Amino acid sequence: MAEEEKKQEEKPDLKAMLKKLSAGSAYRKMVAASEEGKPIVFASAAVPVEVFFAMDLYPIFPESLAAISSGIKKADEFFQIAKERGYSPSICSYTRCGLGIRWLSKCAFGPIPEPDIYMGETNLCGLHVTWWRYLEDYYKKPTFFLDHPALSGEVEEYHIQFYMDQIKAMVKFLEESTGTKLDYDRLVEAVKYSDVAGMYWKQVMELRKIKPSPSSFRDLAGQILPIVTFPGSPDAAEFYRALYDYYKERADQGTSAAQNERHRLMWLGIPIWHALHMINYFEEQGVSFVYEPYTSLSWGNKVPSGRLDPSQPYRTLAEKYYMMMFGNYPLKKKIDVLSKAVEDYSIDGVVMFNNRSCRPQAIGQDIIGDTLKEKYGISTLTFEGDMGDPESFDWGDTKNRIDAFIHVLDGQKN
């Protein structure tokens, strides 16, 4: 057998690996776990998931399910029931869709079991607090909040100490609620896998500095899911190792999602899940997205060294989850970080998703755009919409504006 063919055979099947970690697969595992009597946790994103893995608990993440439902156009009934129950469209679409999922006890993949525990996080946005308080009030199940105060500057030791105490309190709460003791060795193991997954994810992001960029934002928006929902599993660690190899090879070969990449952009905001084809539309015209805070800054090993420390699992998880919340940093710090990204990733334009559903991300975005424009002479495009709810989003109008924007980018280069 030729050496090249042998190599091909040895390559891991990325699609199969991703399928194993997909939302659908996670859903099936969760249902099976519930049938075996294992506790199910209805959890907010950005809670220390490694603890769930170490305690053999199975999570349901309503925000991820809302994003997926929107992406595959199966969110209508969830929005509809929220509307019928008097939930104004000014309320975040993740919340409305996530509540619909809970009320109807089903998601895009099928019925969901009754959760045993609810777990919220207070820093993603203020609505998370109201959302999980409602779940606590309505379903009367044990509920815990990871309290995560706002930052006015850098993360300091007292923040980490407080959050470390929060994680310990979370473990105690889970132990009391489930009757299962945390296996410390399993937590250490989960942190090790999480570290490997986070490290490779970071390297995947770094590869996007190469011209042309080997990855598509649209693919990454799906590939990020395991690092959000299963960072403590060996499968996730293995997947990100393989993902890095895959993109490395593409980078070495000069393969890109954009045809003859001629412009490199930054995307500010959450992906617009119901209109991800927008990314392909850019790529078809030779324009790549090479950097987004959503993929590069919010998940993975956001600790100063870039590596988690399994020998201190509580501390390292406190650092990871306190530091990874890009939205929690002051505007000046955000601008500094994004300025560096413009330089490091050779960015020529910024697309700003003015997301009605996410005020924390939308407020101040224009200042970021204006500052980068002034500093680097790059162009910006702003469009309004909602990450999950397609109502009132006008693709025709947005497409025209994208065309005009690309025209400006072309002029900028000439």
Partner 1 sequence: MIEQFREKVQKRHDIARDWKKKGGKVAAYFYTLVPREIVHASGMLPVQLMEEKDGSYLEQESKLQNFVCGLARNVSGQIYRKVYDYADLCVVGVVCDTNRRVFDIWDYKKLFPKMILLGLVQTRNEGSLQYMAQAFDRFRDQMSAIVGKEITDDMVMSSIKTYNENRAQFRELYRIRGKNPAAISGSDVMAVVQASLIMPVEEHTAMLKKLVASLPQTPTGNGKVKLMLSAYNFNIAADVAKIAERMGASVTADDLVHGVRYSFNDIKTGPDVMLSLADGYLFEIPSPGLYSFERKVDFIQKSMKETGAKGLIYVVQSMCDAFAMESAVLNEKFEERQIPFLHLEVEDTPASVEHMNTRIQSFVESLS
Residue 287 belongs to what H/E stretch? strand 287-291
| Structural Rg of the chain based on CA atoms | 21
Question: Between residues 106 and 133, which has the closer beta carbon with respect to partner 1?
Answer: 133
| Contacting range for partner 1; rule: CB under 8 A; set: 45-53, 284-292, 300-308, 356-364 | 356-364
Q: How far apart are CA 216 and CA 200, in angstroms?
A: 17
Closer to partner 1 by CB, 135 or 210: give it.
135
Tokens of 6: 């042998």
360 lies in the binding site for partner 1 (CB under 8 A): yes
User: Binding pattern to partner 1, positions 278-317, x when CB under 8 A?
Assistant: ----------------------------------------
- Name the minimum Å distance from CB 164 to partner 1: 11
254 binds partner 1 per the rule CB under 8 A: no
Is residue 150 part of the contact set for partner 1 (CB under 8 A)?
yes
Which whole-number Å values give the CA distances from 165 to 142, 147, 292, 314, in the listed order?
Answer: 19, 10, 31, 9
Asked if 373 interacts with partner 1 (CB under 8 A), we say no
Q: Binding of partner 1 at residue 165 (CB under 8 A)?
A: yes
Residue from 2, 37, 90, 311 touching partner 1 (CB under 8 A): that is 90
C-beta closer to partner 1: residue 166 or 229: 166
Query: Under the criterion CB under 8 A, does residue 375 sit at the interface with partner 1?
Result: no
Based on the shown chain and the rule CB under 8 A, indicate whether residue 129 belongs to the binding site for partner 1.
yes
Q: Which helix (H) or strand (E) holds 120?
A: strand 117-121
DSSP 326: G
| Distance between CA atoms of residues 277 and 283, nearest Å | 10
Looking at the DSSP assignment, which residues form a beta bridge with residue 40? 58
Instruction: Rule CB under 8 A: say whether 167 interacts with partner 1.
Output: no
Tell me the residue type at 361.
Q
Rounded to the nearest whole angstrom, what is the least distance from the CB of residue 370 to partner 1 in the complex? 10
CA nearest to 351, candidates 401, 280, 299 = 401
How many residues form the binding site for partner 1 (CB under 8 A)? 44
Tokens of 352: 């700003």
Asked if 149 is part of the footprint of partner 1 (rule: CB under 8 A), the reply reads yes
* Contact call for residue 380 and partner 1 (CB under 8 A): no
| Residue span binding partner 1 (CB under 8 A) among the ranges 105-113, 260-268, 280-288, 354-362 | 354-362
Of 23-31, 80-88, 216-224, 345-353, the window that binds partner 1 (rule: CB under 8 A) is 80-88
Selected from 103, 139, 162, 395, the binder of partner 1 by CB under 8 A is 162
Residue burial 328-345, b: 16+ Cβ < 10 Å; e: rest:
bbeeeebbeebeebbeeb
Which stretch in 2-10, 91-99, 180-188, 296-304 sits in contact with partner 1 by CB under 8 A? Answer: 91-99
Where are the alpha helices (H) located in 151-298, listed in sequence order?
157-178, 184-206, 217-223, 225-229, 234-253, 277-284, 293-296
**Interface with partner 1 (CB under 8 A), residue from 354, 373, 395, 408:** 354
Which among 100, 127, 101 has a CA at the least distance from the CA of 113?
Answer: 101
Residue 56's φ and ψ, nearest 5 degrees, are 60, 40
Q: Do residues 294 and 21 make contact, with C-beta atoms less than 8 angstroms apart?
A: no
Stretch that binds partner 1, among 23-31, 65-73, 151-159, 188-196 (CB under 8 A): 151-159
Q: Are 212 and 256 in contact (CB under 8 A)?
A: yes
Helix ranges (DSSP H) in 267-312: 277-284, 293-296
In this complex, which beta carbon is closest to partner 1, that of residue 165 or of residue 344? 165
Can you read off the two tokens belonging to residue 343? 């330089």
Written as six digits, the tokens of 388 are 């999950």
Residue from 137, 157, 185, 374 touching partner 1 (CB under 8 A): that is 137
Binding residue for partner 1 (CB under 8 A) from 19, 277, 340, 359? 359
Dist. CA 130–CA 133, nearest whole Å: 5
CB of 41 to partner 1, least distance (A): 18
- Give min distance, CB of 331 to partner 1, in A: 4
230 is a contact residue toward partner 1 (CB under 8 A): no
The Cα 337–Cα 326 span in angstroms is 10
Residues making contact with partner 1 (CB under 8 A): 85-88, 90-92, 95, 122, 125-127, 129-131, 133-134, 137-138, 145, 147, 149-152, 158, 162, 165-166, 169, 330-332, 335, 354, 356, 359-360, 362-364, 366-367, 384
